[in-house]
Structure 1
Amino acid sequence: MPGNRFSPYSLGANASAIGSYAITPSDGDDLPEVIRAVTLGGSGTLAWRGLDGQTYETAALPAGTYAVSADRILATGTTATDITGWV
């Protein structure tokens, strides 16, 4: 399970990010830290495992930033490129 620096604090959904990192989608590896949003540099679909343990997949999205709470970005189902995770 990845680290979650939000666990001891009550950060609202609209709180600003406190860090970011590049994401390489993987079906087997957790993210190093839970994310609260992603930026897609290139359009496409996004598949992730939410904090509830369920997997989700979007329809095609344009490049941009989206609110997503996740501990894994899945390779299967993700076609978006240049992904940044925000914590």
Structure 2
Amino acid sequence: MPDRFQTLSPGLDAPASHGFAVTPHDSNDLSEVTRALYVGGAGALAVVLASGASVTLSGIAGGTILPLRLRQVKATGTTATLLVGLV
């Protein structure tokens, strides 16, 4: 299948071109820093941003895409489920 955009460099505002399942863990980094995070099941997220700042986001609805550059999703404090890292 042709990809008309394969020669262009994607910016951070471009659509994601890859995704991976995210399993929250209190010390392991994600396999790569995300461009966004898909939250399939509602809840809270305890995350470490690419900058190293730790934040907890609560009241996230299922089916939400959060445009966050994440380094980690912590197990402690995360109740959201079905997480997918988008890059």
Question: TM-score, normalised to structure 1's length?
Answer: 0.83
1:83 aligns with 2:83: yes
Paired AA for residue 52 in structure 2: G
Aligned position for 1:69: 69
Quick one: percent identity of the two aligned structures? Answer: 37
Aligned position for 1:18: 17
Paired AA for residue 75 in structure 1: A
1:57 aligns with 2:39: no
Gap regions ≥5 residues in structure 2: 1-8
Tell me, in whole angstroms, the C-alpha distance in 1 between the residues paired with 2:83 and 2:50: 19
Query: Aligned-pair distance for 1:22?
Result: 0.4
After the TM superposition, which residues 34-49 of structure 1 pair with which residues of structure 2 at under 5 Å, given as runs?
Answer: 34-49=33-48
| Equivalences, count | 78
Q: CA RMSD in A?
A: 1.2
Tell me, in whole angstroms, the C-alpha distance in 2 between the residues paired with 1:54 and 1:11: 25
Query: Aligned-pair distance for 1:11?
Result: 4.4
Question: TM-score, normalised to structure 2's length?
Answer: 0.83
Q: Which ranges of 4 or more aligned residues in structure 1 deviate by more than 2 Å?
A: 10-13
